[in-house]
């Protein structure tokens, strides 16, 4: 439940080592969040993350994005630790490589199961709790890669396209319940996950994404583009003839 000043009090981060996820949670703690669950596979190596979130009370839970059968129990565990969930942030995924996927279809299917399937099971489990308690926000980290899928990363992009559609549908399903979904669509994010890659036009930093998420939470937005100019850019890209689209640089 939000505190007496109306600020977020409890946060569940699924993917407790996520650079973007932790940046968002840090900002929520600065604004008054007092209890956090960091859910991560193995539950180890989180000492630095916990230190970053002081003075919040931080709990650690086991979370495996590739094991959907465990996700409802993880949500129950978070509720047992925190009570009502004000903000839930699924911040897990695999960027992967189209070149590797072309040579290894099994790896492609495995990563899609995490990037899409894991979010479906965790998102539905979290949404059920938010609907039951009558409030709370599920922050879904989508991507412009899913708005229109490019040949350069079409396996990753197709998973993000599925996630984006799922999140929009889930948001519609929650309408009127008091709970909501906020879809975040960043472009290329300069950070640990993309280290060594050449930044694309209209790139953003981890901090810029986190700041945009905070602004979206504060204003009750359902969709956040990062940077905002990508919304206009993709309004054009969506209608480009396919013959032109497939010739765009990789």
For 145, the token pair is 């890669």
Between the alpha carbon of residue 102 and those of residues 54, 121, 151, 196, the distances in Å are 44, 27, 11, 21
Between the alpha carbon of residue 245 and those of residues 150, 159, 165, 168, the distances in Å are 8, 19, 21, 25
Task: List the catalytic residue out of 63, 156, 188, 225.
Answer: 156
How does 61-77 read in b/e, with b if 16+ C-beta sit within 10 Å?
bebbbeebebbbebbeb
Given a contact cutoff of 8 angstroms between Cβ atoms, the answer to whether 218 and 120 are in contact is: no
Between the alpha carbon of residue 241 and those of residues 93, 229, 235, 247, the distances in Å are 30, 21, 13, 10
State the number of CA atoms in the 13 A half-sphere of 12 facing the CB.
Answer: 33
The answer to whether residue 101 is catalytic is: no
Q: Measure CA 248 to chain center.
A: 27
Residue 208 phi/psi, 5-degree rounding, is -65, -40
Given a contact cutoff of 8 angstroms between Cβ atoms, the answer to whether 40 and 94 are in contact is: no
Question: Which of the residues are catalytic?
Answer: 156
């Amino acid at each position: 439940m939000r505190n007496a000043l109306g600020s977020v009090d409890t946060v569940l981060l699924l993917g407790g080592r996520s650079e973007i996820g932790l940046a968002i949670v840090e900002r929520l703690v600065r604004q008054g969040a007092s209890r956090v669950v960091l859910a991560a596979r193995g539950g180890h190596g989180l000492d630095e993350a916990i230190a970053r979130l002081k003075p919040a009370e931080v709990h650690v839970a086991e979370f495996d994005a590739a094991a959907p059968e465990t996700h409802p129990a993880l949500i129950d565990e978070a509720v047992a630790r925190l009570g009502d969930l004000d903000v839930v942030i699924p911040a897990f995924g695999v960027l992967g490589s189209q070149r590797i996927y072309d040579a290894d279809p099994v790896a492609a299917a495995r990563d899609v199961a995490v990037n899409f399937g894991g979010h479906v099971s965790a998102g539905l489990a979290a949404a059920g709790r938010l609907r039951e308690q009558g409030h709370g926000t599920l922050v879904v980290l989508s991507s412009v890669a899913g708005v229109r899928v490019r040949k350069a990363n079409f396996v990753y992009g197709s998973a993000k396209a599925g996630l984006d559609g799922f999140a929009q549908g889930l948001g519609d399903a929650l309408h009127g319940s008091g709970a909501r979904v906020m879809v975040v669509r960043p472009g290329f994010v300069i950070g640990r996950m993309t280290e060594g890659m050449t930044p694309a036009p209209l790139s953003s930093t981890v901090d810029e994404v986190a700041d945009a998420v905070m602004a979206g939470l504060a204003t009750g937005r359902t969709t956040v583009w990062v940077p905002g100019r990508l919304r206009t850019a993709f309004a054009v890209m969506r209608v480009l003839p396919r013959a032109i689209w497939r010739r765009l640089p990789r």
